[in-house]
Chains A and B, each alone.
Chain A
Amino acid sequence: MIMVSPATLKRQIAEVYRAWGMPERHVNTTVELMVEADLRGIDSHGIGMLPQYEQYRRQGRLNVQPDIQVVKEGPTFVLIDADHGLGHPPAEMAMRAAIEKCEDCGVGFAVVRNSNHYGAAGVYSTMAVERGLIGLAVTGTSQRAVVPTFAREPMFSTNPIAFAAPAGTHDPFSLDMATSTVAVGKLQIARRAEKPLPTGWALNAAGEPEHDAAAAVASVPKRMTPVGGTRALGSHKGYGLAMMVEILGSVLSGSYVGGRDLTTLEPGKYINVGHFFLALDPAFFRGEPAAFTADMDRLIDWLHGTAPAEDGQPVLVAGDPEHASRRLRMAEGIPMTDTLLEEVRQVARGCNAPFLLEG
């Protein structure tokens, strides 16, 4: 394990993207948003994705010089075609457009098609918060890995929802969640620890609960559950939420669902992920800006004030762990495992970019 400063990490990722031939403005946007995910402690969605992105590039599934275009625009919305580039630049452009529309109209939304992995959904919803607005970001994903309730085959993926709202004196409320019970990373952790999986994390090929972590990780395709885990604990709700995300992110934009074309049900050359963003102005609804943020503080205090089940583990509010991680990692740097460090070294070597993370 080594600690890397955010500035060094940004330079490293930027060197790789430059070596790929990515235009400088896209390099900057992508690097900022990736390292923001790492600062928040969302390790699965920052630098940890770089090896995967490199693989997409080598497979020709990623356009490193995309022509990102607004293809349709109305008073309250835009539709953006990402031209198969990495998802961060079109997603950032879309959330900015939703915010601008919202500042004009009280609400604004943006839809992106022909996109790719965009990192952590939460880095977009909090862009709205920086402008005093409520933000929502959801995205389809490219692998079939989550099994609908009553089924035995996966049809969609972790389909995350991010929602953020500004507070007054408190940190903003910031929810960023997959609609699956757990992320793949948690299966990996259980496998390495040689622990059985709880009922409700993963399924076997018959659609029954899988308790063997090694088998769940090795399974092709992955068979994870929607949040709820089992029918008795409400997995049909997680499945329903995942479809809500799919409808807003994929169907509304005309993108693939779980990496498949909806007409042929086959994968294509590109990943064709779709995203959806919404910004909402609380000042319009409350008549003035301060009323909402003051009441957000009251809500956050109300939740933090819940009597805890165990002393020593206070009740948290969505965003608390990420805000704490951000403060810590800004001061102490971002931890990287030796494995990840080695993978990034390989990526840099593979595209003739300098490797800057040497201890």
Chain B
Amino acid sequence: MIVVTADVLRRQLSSIFLAWGMSAEHAETAVTVMVETDLTGVDSHGVGMIPTYDRWFREGKINVRPDIRIVRERKSVAMIDADRSLGHAPSVKAMKLAIEKAKASGIGVVAVAHSNHFGAAGYYTLMAAREGVIGMSATNAGPILVPTFGREPRLGTNPISFAAPAKRNKPFWLDMATTTVAFGKVNIARRAGKPVPEGWALGEDGRPMTDSQRAFELRRLTPLGGTRELGSHKGYGLGAMVEILCSTLTGSWLAAVDPATGKAGDQNDIGHFFLALNPDLVREEGEFAEDMDRLIDMLHETPPADPAQPVLVAGDPEYASYEERSKSGIPMTDTLFEEVRLVSQNAGVPFLLGN
């Protein structure tokens, strides 16, 4: 395990994106989103994605000089074409626009078409909450979720994020895949040589299986709920809701499957959905944030089952990680460290993390 500072990580990622030919502005945006994500402890969606981005870049699947444009706009809604850009720049643009619209009119909804992986959905909703408005974001992704009663994947992990500002407390900040677990958790179990709990992954026959090595190879995750008995049809329904808001609403590829080749897995024409809502236009100014404090305090004060494990509110683990990693740095596994070295070599830029 190697620990790097956020600053060195920023410079490393920036040098790679600039070497690819990305504009300084787009590089800066992508780097900010990725490193903030690593600081919050969502390791799967920050620098951990750079080897995948590198592969897509070399395969010509990312447009590094995109013309990201607003194709239609009204007072409270807008449609953005990402022109096959990496997802961060169009997504920051979309959420900024949604926030402006919410402040002016009460609500803003901005959808993004023809985009790529955008990192962590939560980055964008926190942008909204920090501006005093409610934020929602979602994205579709390549197939990995097996619908209830099925035995093959048809939808992505299709995450949804929701944030709401408080006054004294940090914002309520939910960022969740609509699968039971992220694929990264299966990988962690595999590396540790441990079985996965029943309800995380399915075999080729559509039945639950606990062999983490096989689960890693098969890539068949359950929807939130895990089994029909525990409500997997609800997770499946939420995953489909995200698919509708991201691919159907924007005209991006259904389940990130290339309609020309039928090939699934890469995320090179996906859609995102962003919503911002201004609570101060609905309630008297400030009342919403004060009631959010009351709600958050009430939840924190719920009697715990185990006195050593207090009841948390969405965002608590991420804020704690942010504080810790801002001081002590971002841990990277040796494997990822070596992968970033390779990406740097591919881009022809110095490897800065070893210094």
Q: Which residues of A contact B (CB under 8 A)?
A: 72, 74-77, 79, 105-109, 111, 134, 148-153, 155, 161, 163, 165, 173, 175, 177-179, 181-182, 198, 200-201, 203, 206-208, 227-229, 232-234, 236-241, 243-244, 246-248, 251-254, 257, 262-263, 265, 280-282, 284-287, 291-292, 295-296, 298-299, 302-303, 306-310, 313-318
Contact = CB atoms under 8 A, between A and B. Distances in A.
Given A228-B224, A282-B249, 6 more contacts: A106-B76, A109-B106, A152-B305, A153-B302, A182-B231, A306-B149
15 contacts: A109-B107, A153-B303, A207-B306, A227-B234, A228-B224, A234-B180, A240-B176, A247-B162, A247-B292, A252-B283, A257-B298, A280-B109, A285-B72, A299-B243, A318-B233
Contact of A306 (B150, B254, B282): B150
B331 interface: no
Contacts of A287: 72, 79
Interface in B76-107: 76-77, 79, 105-107
Contacts of B279: 251-252
A262 B249 contact: no
Nearest to B250: A285
Contacts of B76: 75-76, 105-107
Contacts of A206: 305
Contacts of B309: 150
A198 to B, nearest CB: 5
Contact of B79 (A152, A247, A285): A285
Contacts of A291: 251
Contact of A316 (B107, B148, B226): B148
A41 B207 CA distance: 28
Top 10 A-B pairs, shortest CB-CB distance: A207-B305, A309-B206, A106-B77, A306-B150, A240-B174, A175-B237, A262-B294, A151-B302, A318-B237, A240-B314
Interface in B132-172: 134, 146-152, 154-155, 162, 164, 172
Nearest to B207: A309
A284 B313 contact: no
Contact of B248 (A149, A203, A265, A296): A296
A295 B291 contact: no
Contact of A286 (B109, B197, B245, B251): B251
Nearest to A229: B230
**Best-surrounded residue of B74, B181, B282, B292 (most CB of chain A within 10 A):** B282
Nearest to A72: B282
Interface string B253-277: 0110000000000000000000001
